[in-house]
Amino acid sequence: MLELKKGIKALVAEAENQVQSLTPTEVELRLQQAGVLLVDLRDIRELKREGKIPESLHVPRGMLEFWIDPESPYYKAEFDDVNEIILYCNKGWRSALAAQTLQNMGIDKVAHLQGGMEQWQIDIGRIDKN
């Protein structure tokens, strides 16, 4: 068995201390501003099963850094006019880690949805099943 010096709980807690966390209500308010992009990091199977938050862009977690870097051959034009990025996943763990990574890449205006899609469904309930 592998011996970990730092497990997932510690990694997520560390990320949570370094990134901005937003409630579903705060996310909903931010989305009314121009230049704010909501990014769904979940697996495609999760999207098909549970739907997604309306107006969010699906970016597979493994491709985020590649799709957001203009120097990458995988860069996506959807990031051209973005001033702020809000990330979400199912529980808020992957999005916290991803927000930390984007901060490490130099993106200042990045946050994540605390509690993820699960909390969104409890607080807001509005999802897109398409």
pLDDT for res 108? 95
Is residue 37 within 8 Å of 128, Cβ to Cβ? no
Q: What is the pLDDT of residues 60-70, one digit of tens each?
A: 999 999 999 99
Domain boundaries, the chain: 19-123
Query: Using one digit for the tens of pLDDT, what is the confidence trace for 10-36?
Result: 999 999 999 999 999 999 999 999 999
Check: CB of residue 50 under 8 Å from CB of residue 126: no
pLDDT on residue 1: 87
Q: Which amino acid is at 83?
A: N
Are the C-beta atoms of residues 69 and 76 closer than 8 Å to each other?
A: no
* 2 pLDDT tier (thresholds 50, 70, 90): confident
Look up the pTM and report it.
Answer: 0.94
- Separation between Cα atoms, residue 120 and residue 123, nearest integer Å: 5
DSSP bridge pairs for 37: 85
CATH number for 19-123 (one of 3.40.50.2000, 3.40.50.720, 3.40.250.10, 3.40.50.970): it is 3.40.250.10
Distances (CA, A) of 104 to 13, 29, 57, 101: 16, 26, 22, 5
What is the rounded distance in angstroms from the CA atom of residue 57 to the CA atom of residue 86?
10
Packed helices 8-18 and 93-104: angle between N→C axes, nearest 10 degrees: 60
